[in-house]
Amino acid sequence: MVALVIAEHDNASLKGSTHHTITAAAQCGGDVHVLVAGSNAAAAAAQAAQIAGVSKVLLADAAHFADGLAENVAEQVLAVAGAYSHILAPATAYGKNILPRVAAKLDVAQISEITKVDSPDTFERPIYAGNAIATVQSSDKVKVITVRTTGFDSAAATGGSAATETIAAVGDSGKSSFVGRELAKSDRPELTAAKIIVSGGRGMGSGEAFKVLEPLADKLGAAMGASRAAVDAGFVPNDWQVGQTGKIVAPSLYIAVGISGAIQHLAGMKDSKTIVAINKDPEAPIFSVADYGIVGDLFDIVPELVKELG
């Protein structure tokens, strides 16, 4: 058995999601190969070769891979798919865009957002917003899998010495073209990679009130997040959203401020190592998953916390 991991990268470096996916691939048994499809992406391929557990890196380098268009990358995956028993990608927007195309062309059933590998053909994945875990066994010759990265540790970035093989790049499919990208710049850590997250909910009352959380996030070196209710109310941007329809996170510390704890939000953060909840409603569902809870007015409690942190 040999597993192929589709690397998520920006041509210069790998995304952290790739490291978690490699861990999942290794647990499937057999060797792990990594496909880097990009433009001038030799640096990303070199990083992949150093990851512990990787035995080979395939580099497909062409200008039409520069922006990771799913139509092109999927065709590249299909060009090499015959050699693999498992094909995996992170369950990010990148992986979710590519692998369904691959699964359809291979005429197999995709297994989505796995959180555990029980055996080479059996996997666990959350269903019903994380309220139940489904055990899925696949009889397909090729297992096409997206990996919920919070379910697996990150593979060590060093310690490997894989060979890098440059393979022929497939042609441009011509089915899509890159138009533009808007990037939100922030000095704070990226939400999905942050070790500490401070999130606000509808209880904040307004976008202006989120400034109350900034000193706390600054003291802790934390990323800032929000519930869907806060995003839908226009308090903060969409890319702050944590939850089933937002970003799935599992930091070492998650501080939920003014968040009631709707099931959709809990699905996105309940795997956090330590959860602290601040809410004036003692019956708020968030307290059912919190390790520490503070009942009271957030506008009094948060400044007190900042003061205690010095």
For residue 258, say whether it is annotated as part of any ligand binding site. yes
Is 142 annotated as contributing to ligand binding?
no
Please give the Cα distance from 234 to 211 (Å, whole number).
14
Q: Is 133 annotated as belonging to a binding site?
A: no
Residue 241 is assigned to a ligand binding site? yes
Residue closest to 98 by CA, chosen among 74, 78, 114: 74
Nearest CA-CA partner of 136 in 148, 146, 122: 122
Sign of torsion, CA 87 265 271 135?
negative
Furthest CA-CA distance within the chain:
61
Q: Is residue 245 a known part of a binding site? A: yes
**Burial zone of 111 (CB within 10 Å; 0-12 exposed, 13-18 middle, 19+ buried):** buried
**264 assigned binding-site residue:** yes
- Answer for the pair 213, 200: CB distance below 8 angstroms, yes or no: yes
Q: Is 146 annotated as a binding residue?
A: no
Q: Is 200 annotated as a binding residue?
A: no
Residue 228 marked in a binding site = yes
110 is an annotated ligand-binding site residue: no
265 labelled binding-site residue: yes
Residue 112 annotated as binding? no
Sheet with 56-61, strands from edge to edge, namely 111-114, 143-147, 86-90, 2-6, 31-38, 56-61, 163-166
Burial of 109 (0-12, 13-18, 19+ CB in 10 A): middle
202 annotated ligand binder: yes
242 is in an annotated binding site: yes
Cα 176 versus chain centre, distance: 24
The answer on whether 260 is annotated among ligand-binding residues is yes
Which segments are annotated as binding site for FAD? 202, 227-228, 241-245, 258-265, 279
Binding residues: 202, 227-228, 241-245, 258-265, 279
